[in-house]
Amino acid sequence: MGQLDNLTGPAALKKLDHGELLDLVRETREFLIHQVSRTGGHLGPNLGVVELTIALHRVFTSPRDSILWDTGHQTYVHKMLTGRADRFDALRKRGGLSGYPSRAESEHDLIENSHASTALSYADGLAKAYALQGATDRAVVAVIGDGALTGGMTWEALNNIAAGQDRPMVIVVNDNGRSYAPTVGGFAEHLAALRTSHRYESLLEWGKKVLAPAPVVYDALHGLKKGMKDVFTPQGMYEGLGLKYIGPVDGHDIKAVEFALRRAHQFRAPVIVHCVTRKGQGYPHAENDEADRFHAVRVMDPETGRAAPAPGTSWTSVFARELIAVGEERDDVVAITAAMPGPTGLSSFAERFPERSFDVGIAEQHAVTSAAGLATAGLRPVVAVYSTFLNRAFDQVLMDVAMHRCPVVFVLDRAGVTGDDGASHNGMWDVPLLTLVPGLRMAAPRDAATLRAALREAVEVTDGPTVIRFPKGQVGPDIHALAVSGGLDILRQGAPGGPLLIATGSMAGLGLAVADRLSELGTETTVVDPVWIAPLNPALTALAARHSLVATVEDNLRTGGLGSVLTQALQDSGAATAVCSFGIPRRFLEHGSRGEVLADCGLTEEHIVRTLTERLTERTIGHQAGPGRGHEHTEALDKEQS
């Protein structure tokens, strides 16, 4: 059995000698490549932190010492070392390990951190609390990537951390030069200058080759009193913040990392340990020019590094191609991304129009207000982000864009249920949040054709922001409208006055399947897609008032969703039409496949058909029994559905 098989927990790491540690490093990388290639997940980031994670658990004692990860997708090795290696067969699957830290999984996961740039603020709060409680024997360690250092919240935290020189904290900068894509901006250039210091590199390489066989001398090299901080690299920025600095340190040299961490811990003050690592270390496919492809992988062949091609066409690629077409026609269209040009479909636009493409780093708030500036100057900015990440910039959308009536186009990828990335990544909050914004228009296209049309409509708007939301995964076949009435796409015509089903975005296919099943049961249902779901189309309110029962099916929160807005509009108009809303409940969702999570939310053909059939039956009974009984049964069903 190898070192990984014999590992009983992080405490056992402290007993291993250097040779055994090197065996553990090799076995850990082999395990990661083997397991993640079978399940999918974040491979590149975790291959890059193997030595760093082992060193952290040798120097500090988790969970007594608080080790915080920013972001949490680099915690696979941490999970392995804290007793969860035997659960990787079900990584990111229902009932299996989460792809991010999970408090429900282990006491070693202190925060469930899956959005970047937050760990230092958590760490600041913990350090303050430990100081107030007199817990001087508890260390606070935050691991943050160079990409996350482009986020403004990081610098807000550093400003406060630097003021607490009596509050010990170790800040490990895991510097691999990348977030998802290469890290951008002035701070990235500063780190690059540090990591490429010729004096540092030459001395470190000399030490490895000549002094490595002599541990005492080697340790002395890393422990020179003035050290790399003062002699070998310029640290004006960190000194200006009042923070001590150690580094750069070779993040793949366990001895060097351990020495730096122990030295930082002894300072009893906030210290930055700058570790230079390589994303994808130890896996040749992930170390080459395609490194970004291995940030997060699907199930793949570990020998070739190739995954089977995804069937069909993705929503993202449809948007990417159409944006280029629009850009060819209009030279005022510019694109903005927050450190994710590839996943949001902007890479191809950036290749075609590099001068009109802006990657601002992990800084969604800045991206939105910068877009407002671009729009104010007469350009038409398209901001492409994951739906869940726009939550961070709501105030900027409201006050900096909408209040100024800036024509910014927001394209929200991964809207609705995403599934295997867990609670934080489901794009379920965008609709209720953004429908609060005055003057904002929002579209939820149902297929490739309506996505292309919505994008072209959005860039024509001149008096306020527009939003286009679409889900993760493959786009289905186009669903053609039978007719268009008042801006509403009629997808199926049912009996006059009968049930009306309003299906938004990718739920259109489900809505039609429900109508087909109800037809088999003797109920002809009208199905419409408003495409533009905000502001509420008055034609939809008028249409709903003419039907006996209205149901909305939407891939977002029911609270504040289209059904909720429509109910209020019908009440305001005096209509007595009942609205039955099917959507995502107001709770954090357990990770699993998209299908599993949708089923948990009741967004399945079976559940919707059963519920609507019961509702129709109750209404019939209510009419036969008189107004009183019917009203009571309707209220009971409303309560049950809520």
CA distances from 72 to 75, 341, 484, 585 (A): 6, 20, 46, 25
Tell me whether residue 20 is one of the annotated catalytic residues. Answer: no
* Residue 148, marked binder: yes
* Residue 239, marked binder: no
Task: Report CA Rg, the chain.
Answer: 27
* Residue 473, marked binder: no
Task: Identify the sign of the CA torsion 372, 373, 375, 381.
Answer: negative
Tell me whether residue 279 is one of the annotated catalytic residues. Answer: yes
The active-site residue out of 79, 293, 380, 392 is: 392
Question: Residue 354 contacts by C-beta under 8 Å, 6 or more apart in sequence?
Answer: none
How far apart, in whole angstroms, are the C-alpha atoms of residue 186 and residue 193?
11
How far apart, in whole angstroms, are the C-alpha atoms of residue 111 and residue 125?
12
Q: The tokens 């993040």 sit on which residue? A: 251
Q: Are 552 and 563 contacting, i.e. CB atoms less than 8 angstroms apart?
A: yes
* Residue 519, marked binder: no
The residues facing 271 across adjacent strands are: 170, 244
The active-site residue out of 58, 138, 178, 279 is: 279
* Residue 159, marked binder: no
How far apart, in whole angstroms, are the C-alpha atoms of residue 405 and residue 464?
4
Tell me whether residue 15 is one of the annotated catalytic residues. Answer: no
How far apart, in whole angstroms, are the C-alpha atoms of residue 612 and residue 605?
11
* Residue 116, marked binder: yes
* Residue 147, marked binder: yes
What's the DSSP call for residue 83? I
Q: The tokens 């590149």 sit on which residue? A: 44
The active-site residue out of 105, 112, 322, 364 is: 364
User: What tokens appear for 431 in the block?
Assistant: 């609709």
* Residue 193, marked binder: no
In angstroms, how far is CA 287 from the centroid of its own chain?
A: 24
* Residue 57, marked binder: no
Q: Are 177 and 146 contacting, i.e. CB atoms less than 8 angstroms apart?
A: yes
How far apart, in whole angstroms, are the C-alpha atoms of residue 88 and residue 35?
7
Q: Are 374 and 356 contacting, i.e. CB atoms less than 8 angstroms apart?
A: no
Three-class secondary structure of residue 333 per DSSP: strand
* Residue 73, marked binder: yes
Q: Are 466 and 458 contacting, i.e. CB atoms less than 8 angstroms apart?
A: yes
- Active-site residue list: 279, 364, 392
Provide the annotated binding site for thiamine diphosphate. Answer: 73, 114-116, 147-148, 176, 283, 364
The binding site for Mg(2+) comprises 146, 176
Residue ranges of the binding site? 73, 114-116, 146-148, 176, 283, 364
